[in-house]
C-alpha cells in the first residue's frame, strides 16, 4: 500500500516536472540519424522545444556561437533554459543529451541502477559501435569520390555484424534493454535506413519486428518528420561546397 502510494506520488512529481517546463528547449538540429535521436526524445517526453537548424552543408557548425555550445562542430546540441537549479545548461553529444533529458523527466531512462546499467550498455554500444560504423559505411558507399572496395566491405560487414547482434538480442525481448528506452531511440535512426547500409532487413527478422514496433510510436513519427527545408535541397555527394566542408576538415586552433 505504502509502496503503491509512494510510486503514485513519484509519478505525479515527474509529470509535474515536465509540465513545469515553460521555456522551450532549444534544439540545434539537422535531419540525420543523430539529429532524430533528440527530436524523437523531446517528442516522447512531451517537452516543449524550438528547433534551430544547423545547416552542416553550409558551415553553420563552425559559427562561434554554435561552437560555444558544441565544441566538436557537430549537431545535435541543446540548450535547456530551465536546467539544474533553474539555470540554463547546454549539452552536446547525442548520448549525453538523451541521458540528460532522461534524468530530467524520469522517462525512458530508468533510475533503478541495474536497469540503468542495461540501458547504458546498449546506449554506448550505439554511440561507439553502430553509429560510427554505420556512418563510415554510409560515407564510403555514398560520399567517397572513389569506390574503395576494401573500405566499403569493411564497414558494410561491420554494420551487418552489429545488426546481427541486435537481431539476436531482440529474439526474446521487445526492446534492447528492458522497457522502451533511450537505447532504442539511439539505435532507431541508423536502423531505419538499413537500405542505405546495403542491408537486407529480411535477414534480421527480430530486428525487423523491433523496427516496426518503434516506428509505430506516434512520437517517433513526429520526431523523424521534423524537417528542414534546405536539407532537402542539398545532395552532399554532388554539392562540392558541402562535400568540402564536411569531409576535408582539419584541426582548428
Ligand X SMILES: N[C@@H](CCC(=O)N[C@@H](CS)C(=O)NCC(=O)O)C(=O)O
Q: Which residues bind ligand X (CB under 6 A)?
A: 32, 34, 56, 61, 73-76, 93-94, 246
Question: Please, which residue, 204 or 220, has the CB nearer to ligand X?
Answer: 220
Sheet holding 77-80: strands in order across? 49-53, 25-29, 77-80, 89-92
Q: Report the nearest approach of ligand X to the CB of residue 245 (Å).
A: 7
Looking at the DSSP bridge assignments, the partners of residue 27 are: 51, 78
Q: Report the nearest approach of ligand X to the CB of residue 174 (Å).
A: 25
Q: Report the nearest approach of ligand X to the CB of residue 213 (Å).
A: 23
Measure the CA–CA gap between 101 and 126, rounded to whole angstroms: 18
Question: Please, which residue, 39 or 61, has the CB nearer to ligand X?
Answer: 61
Question: Please, which residue, 75 or 204, has the CB nearer to ligand X?
Answer: 75
Q: Report the nearest approach of ligand X to the CB of residue 12 (Å).
A: 33
Question: Please, which residue, 9 or 96, has the CB nearer to ligand X?
Answer: 96
Question: Please, which residue, 175 or 243, has the CB nearer to ligand X?
Answer: 243
Q: Report the nearest approach of ligand X to the CB of residue 5 (Å).
A: 40
Amino acid at each position: 500500500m505504502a509502496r503503491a502510494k509512494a510510486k503514485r506520488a513519484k509519478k505525479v512529481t515527474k509529470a509535474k516536472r515536465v509540465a513545469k517546463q515553460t521555456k522551450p528547449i532549444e534544439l540545434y538540429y539537422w535531419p540525420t540519424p543523430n539529429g532524430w535521436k533528440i527530436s524523437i526524445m523531446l517528442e516522447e517526453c512531451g517537452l516543449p522545444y524550438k528547433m534551430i537548424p544547423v545547416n552542416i552543408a553550409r558551415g553553420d557548425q563552425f559559427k562561434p556561437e554554435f561552437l560555444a555550445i558544441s565544441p566538436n562542430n557537430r549537431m545535435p546540441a541543446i540548450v535547456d533554459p530551465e536546467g539544474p537549479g533553474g539555470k540554463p545548461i547546454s549539452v552536446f553529444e547525442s548520448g549525453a543529451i538523451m541521458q540528460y533529458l532522461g534524468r530530467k523527466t524520469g522517462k525512458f531512462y530508468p533510475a533503478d541502477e541495474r536497469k540503468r546499467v542495461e540501458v547504458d550498455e546498449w546506449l554506448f554500444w550505439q554511440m561507439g559501435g553502430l553509429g560510427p560504423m554505420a556512418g563510415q559505411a554510409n560515407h564510403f558507399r555514398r560520399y567517397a569520390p572513389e569506390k574503395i572496395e576494401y573500405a566499403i566491405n569493411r564497414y558494410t560487414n561491420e554494420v551487418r555484424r552489429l545488426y546481427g547482434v541486435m537481431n539476436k538480442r531482440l529474439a526474446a525481448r521487445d526492446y534492447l534493454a528492458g522497457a522502451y528506452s533511450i537505447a532504442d531511440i539511439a539505435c532507431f535512426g541508423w536502423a531505419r535506413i538499413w537500405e542505405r547500409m546495403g542491408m537486407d532487413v529480411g535477414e534480421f527478422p527480430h530486428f525487423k519486428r523491433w523496427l516496426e514496433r518503434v516506428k509505430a510510436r506516434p512520437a517517433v513519427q513526429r520526431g523523424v518528420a521534423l524537417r528542414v527545408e534546405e536539407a532537402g535541397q542539398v545532395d552532399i555527394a554532388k554539392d562540392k561546397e558541402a562535400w568540402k566542408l564536411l569531409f576535408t576538415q582539419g584541426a582548428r586552433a
